[in-house]
């Protein structure tokens, strides 16, 4: 295994600083944007502490796939020294031979498998070191992932995330509670310090941030917090642009009927009826992303037409949408546009880690098009691609940014990356984006008082 000195020769100054802070505190937070090399920094902290014995790494399936691929490369270890516990290999949990974990340097396990294994008393509760990747997935204090994770003990620990707070400080409670168990035992005491609340008749509702300066100081005390502004000169410049389009008259007529009457007649002689305004909102969003979701007899829509125009200018393209039901129609539109089938890479929901690596590798090597949902765009790098198109948005700004950052990496082949959001003016597209921007502003108030660590 490589030494810390050998690893430092391959890290950048900001990564070296994060490694030193993590090793000094032993139980630390590593909060850094996607594409900034958190995996490498986590390995650096591991080597700086000279961990003896197995290290447990928990995370999502794509994240663990990245760890399994990078550990042998960066640390020069045999892949056989990594135990990658998978939940879909056909074996029962009792056949996974946890008793042999001491024979490995690293044990990789998803949060779901961690919960199952703890319940079955098959996962050791004490470890020399734990690395919790994508710790934002454990933000809900009432879910089993947190309730089981907090029972684990370790001599050293790194909580890693590239996703900022979705709702503000409330999302960071589990991080604070894990790294300072004595100070942050009570959730409502924590909320009372960092969040503005009011009583809505049923209970306390969080409406905004409070004591942002103290919050930033607490995060700095617990570890390293890099924002995108900190690393702006380290990573490619991102240009975000709206592609404003107008609805086809036929689609506009259906849109207005659903918006006003909650139902509409379709070209196929069918009727779409929505029982309430929330369902109507969903159908309106689907209609704007790809009308064929609602009726195959409808046209592809102006959004997909705009996407095809971008492809003609930049044939190495990543395409994201919030609706997986739109993906088959996007593929069909690409094929009708005379794009070879072998150039189209679709990341289906629930795709295995091996299949994900295979498709991403093919996309990076042979260019072409990659298509996936916004919600599952995490833990993989599209470093050779500099253009992505979003057909619709997710309600959560952090989910959109995770997908955006697939093409904005430290090792990107371009100094500039372009992100296009298709927007239908005067429609629910504007309402969704307004909600996304408002939530982002609230979170930015917490980051305003933190110390910049990159000059």
pLDDT tens across 292-330, in order? 999 999 999 999 999 999 999 999 999 999 999 999 999
Q: Which of 134, 92, 139 is nearest to 113 (CA)?
A: 92
Residue 147: inside a domain, yes or no?
yes
Say yes or no: 56 and 144 in one domain: yes
Burial of 73 (0-12, 13-18, 19+ CB in 10 A): exposed
Residue 379: inside a domain, yes or no?
yes
Say yes or no: 270 and 345 in one domain: no
| Distance of alpha carbon 109 from alpha carbon 131, whole angstroms | 11
CATH code at position 140:
3.40.50.300
Say yes or no: 397 and 419 in one domain: yes
Between 47 and 435, the more confident residue is: 47
Q: Is the pLDDT of residue 137 over 50?
A: yes
pLDDT band at 237 (very low <50, low <70, confident <90, very high): very high
Q: Averaged over 50-78, what is the pLDDT?
A: 91
Domain boundary among the residues 260, 276, 299 is at 299
Q: Averaged over 31-35, what is the pLDDT?
A: 90
Say yes or no: 53 and 90 in one domain: yes
Among 33-37, 332-336, 345-349, name the most confident range.
Answer: 332-336
The whole-number pLDDT of residue 442 equals: 62
Our count of domains for the chain comes to: 3
The whole-number pLDDT of residue 1 equals: 86
Say yes or no: 380 and 278 in one domain: no
> And the tokens for 383?
């470093």
Between 373 and 269, the more confident residue is: 373
Q: What are 80-115's pLDDT values in tens digits?
A: 999 888 765 434 444 555 556 788 999 999 999 899
Say yes or no: 79 and 135 in one domain: yes
Residue 453: inside a domain, yes or no?
no
Q: Is the pLDDT of residue 420 over 90?
A: yes
| Distance of alpha carbon 132 from alpha carbon 110, whole angstroms | 10
Say yes or no: 147 and 290 in one domain: no
Say yes or no: 305 and 295 in one domain: no
The whole-number pLDDT of residue 454 equals: 44
Residue 395's domain comprises 237-247+301-424
Q: Is the pLDDT of residue 76 over 90?
A: yes
Residue 221: inside a domain, yes or no?
no
**Separation in Å, CA 302 to CA 246, 292, 401:** 7, 12, 24
Say yes or no: 255 and 320 in one domain: no
Say yes or no: 327 and 284 in one domain: no
Say yes or no: 306 and 290 in one domain: no
| Distance of alpha carbon 243 from alpha carbon 311, whole angstroms | 14
| Distance of alpha carbon 404 from alpha carbon 433, whole angstroms | 15
Residue 257: inside a domain, yes or no?
yes
Residue 281: inside a domain, yes or no?
yes
Residue 439: inside a domain, yes or no?
no
Say yes or no: 24 and 53 in one domain: yes
Dihedral sign of CA atoms 367, 371, 375, 376 in order: negative
Domain boundary among the residues 163, 190, 211 is at 163
């Amino acid at each position: 295994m490589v030494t810390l000195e050998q690893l430092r020769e391959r890290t950048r100054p900001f990564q070296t600083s994060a490694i030193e802070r993590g090793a000094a505190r032993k139980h630390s937070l590593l909060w850094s944007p996607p594409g900034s090399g958190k995996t490498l920094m986590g390995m650096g902290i591991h080597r700086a502490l000279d961990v003896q014995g197995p290290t447990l790494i928990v995370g999502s399936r794509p994240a663990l796939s990245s760890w399994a691929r990078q550990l042998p490369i960066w640390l020069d270890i045999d892949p056989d020294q990594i135990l990658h516990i998978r939940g879909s290999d056909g074996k029962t949990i009792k056949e996974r031979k946890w008793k042999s974990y001491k024979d490995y340097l690293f044990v990789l396990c998803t949060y779901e498998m961690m919960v199952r294994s703890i319940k079955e008393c098959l996962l050791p509760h004490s470890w020399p070191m734990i690395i919790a990747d994508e710790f934002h997935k454990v933000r809900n204090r009432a879910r089993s992932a947190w309730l089981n994770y907090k029972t684990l003990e370790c001599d050293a620990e790194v909580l890693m995330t590239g996703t900022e707070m979705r709702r503000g400080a409330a999302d960071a409670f589990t991080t604070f509670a894990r790294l300072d168990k004595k100070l942050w035992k009570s959730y409502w005491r924590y909320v009372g310090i960092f969040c503005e609340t009011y009583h809505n008749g049923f209970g306390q509702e969080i409406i905004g941030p409070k004591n942002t300066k103290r919050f930033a100081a607490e995060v700095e005390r617990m570890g390293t917090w890099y924002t995108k502004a900190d690393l702006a000169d380290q990573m490619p410049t991102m240009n975000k642009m709206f592609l404003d389009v107008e609805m086809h008259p036929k689609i506009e007529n259906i849109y207005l009927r659903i918006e006003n009457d909650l139902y509409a007649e379709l070209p196929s002689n069918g009727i779409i009826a929505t029982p309430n305004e929330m369902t109507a909102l969903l159908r309106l969003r689907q209609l704007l992303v790809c009308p064929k979701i609602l009726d195959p007899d409808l046209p592809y829509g102006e959004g997909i037409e705009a996407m095809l125009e971008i492809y003609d200018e930049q044939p190495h393209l990543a395409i994201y949408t919030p609706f997986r039901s739109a993906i088959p129609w996007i593929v069909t539109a690409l094929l009708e546009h005379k794009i070879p089938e072998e150039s189209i890479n679709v990341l289906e929901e629930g795709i295995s880690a091996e299949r994900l690596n295979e498709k991403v590798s093919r996309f990076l090597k042979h260019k072409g098009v990659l298509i996936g949902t916004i919600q599952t765009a995490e833990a993989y790098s599209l470093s050779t691609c500099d253009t992505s198109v979003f057909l619709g948005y997710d309600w959560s700004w952090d989910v959109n940014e995770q997908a955006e950052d697939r093409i904005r990496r430290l090792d990107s082949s371009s100094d500039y990356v372009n992100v296009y959001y298709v927007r239908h003016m005067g429609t629910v597209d504007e309402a969704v984006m307004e909600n996304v921007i408002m939530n982002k502003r609230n979170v930015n108030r917490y980051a305003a008082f933190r110390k910049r660590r990159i000059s």
